[in-house]
Amino acid sequence: MRLTTKIAAVLSVSVMALTACASEDSEPSATDSGSGATSAESDVKVGMAYDVGGRGDQSFNDSAAAGLDQAIEEFGMTSEEAEAEDGEDEAAREERLRTFADGGYDPVIAVGFAYAAALTKVSAEYPDVHFAIIDDESIDADNVADLVFAEEQGSFLVGAAAALKSETGNIGFVGGVEVPLIQKFEAGYIAGAKAVNPDVEIQSTYLTQPPDFSGFGDPAKGKTAAEGMFDEGADIVYHAAGGSGGGVFEAAADSGNLAIGVDSDQYNTADPAVQDVILTSMLKNVNVAVYEYLSQVNDGTFPSGVTRYDLSVDGVGYSTSGGQVDDIAAKLDEYKQQIIDGTITVPTTP
């Protein structure tokens, strides 16, 4: 009797757990057209090719996914997603794009500059399919939209914020991987800091060198690098290191210093334990780029050529969550206006 009760209990619990899993799984995929009656219907099938990490990386890919989700929600598009593997070859990236194109997905969005070479090839093979690539402007084709960001402008503002807030006159920059894209962050950050205080001391380092891209996903490396900077007298460190940034926040929290986040408003996504050390975040609104691209697609036009998301269209910016930069917001907005007006030109290489 007791045994049967036990078995029944176990069974019912496991059944409940399983059904819970099933319903949870089906929700976030959102591949089927909109759930409610409010959402519109659309026969656009979006193919989304993520970079390494894919949806759920709390960083770059997730930001792109957020833009896609918003478009799906509003326009009732359908989508399918695939992600890159670490260390894969060109053929694999090309094949991912071709599989989407063959499967009737139009447009196909390639997330990340790693797809540049592959997309150059594939976009020529499928002239009738429309593509978009994020973070690369090397492809000049009628069926390719290059969505790029003025990372240096956003970095300029957080660099200025760091110099304004620093008490030691010593700040740091931690880049994930030393590629030209991340050097743009560094260049803008340095320029911004120097604009405020020409004598500011800036420590700068990169976690790894290409072709080793582990610097974008190794919090331990980020922590070691930031600890070194804090030991050398820095009191604010800006990271452009994707998933490694968590280590930078930890190092800041352990030593009672501050850090600056990147890509998304990391005050909202970081571990609550390190939330207070996040002075601000350099916002790179990949979601805005993806959403706006898809909204144009929804209107029936496929953009092509380079679209640059800069300060003037709020493609980049700085976050104010946590209120730590409220006192200098006026000063930062002044710089922002000067950059938009063209009085300040931000360099893209350090």
Q: Please report, as ranges, the residues that interact with another protein according to CB under 8 A.
A: 21-22, 25, 29, 31, 47, 80-83, 85-92, 94-96, 98-100, 103, 113-114, 116-117, 121, 125, 135-136, 138, 178-181, 208-213
Of 212 and 334, nearer to another protein (C-beta) is 212
Distances 185 to 63, 71, 339 between C-alpha atoms, Å: 18, 28, 15
Q: How far is the CB of 260 from another protein (least distance, A)?
A: 24
Of 28 and 233, nearer to another protein (C-beta) is 28
CB atoms within 10 A of CB 334: 12
Of 178 and 276, nearer to another protein (C-beta) is 178
Residue 71 parent element (H or E): helix 60-75
Of 12 and 209, nearer to another protein (C-beta) is 209
Rounded Cα gap, residues 100 and 232, in angstroms? 50
Q: How far is the CB of 33 from another protein (least distance, A)?
A: 16
Q: How far is CA 70 from the centre of its chain?
A: 16
Of 215 and 315, nearer to another protein (C-beta) is 215
Q: How far is the CB of 38 from another protein (least distance, A)?
A: 26
Distances 16 to 2, 4, 24, 211, 276 between C-alpha atoms, Å: 21, 18, 12, 47, 39
Residues in the chain: 350
- CA neighbor of 203 nearest in space, from 177, 176, 232, 223: 232
Q: How far is the CB of 325 from another protein (least distance, A)?
A: 31
Q: How far is the CB of 46 from another protein (least distance, A)?
A: 12
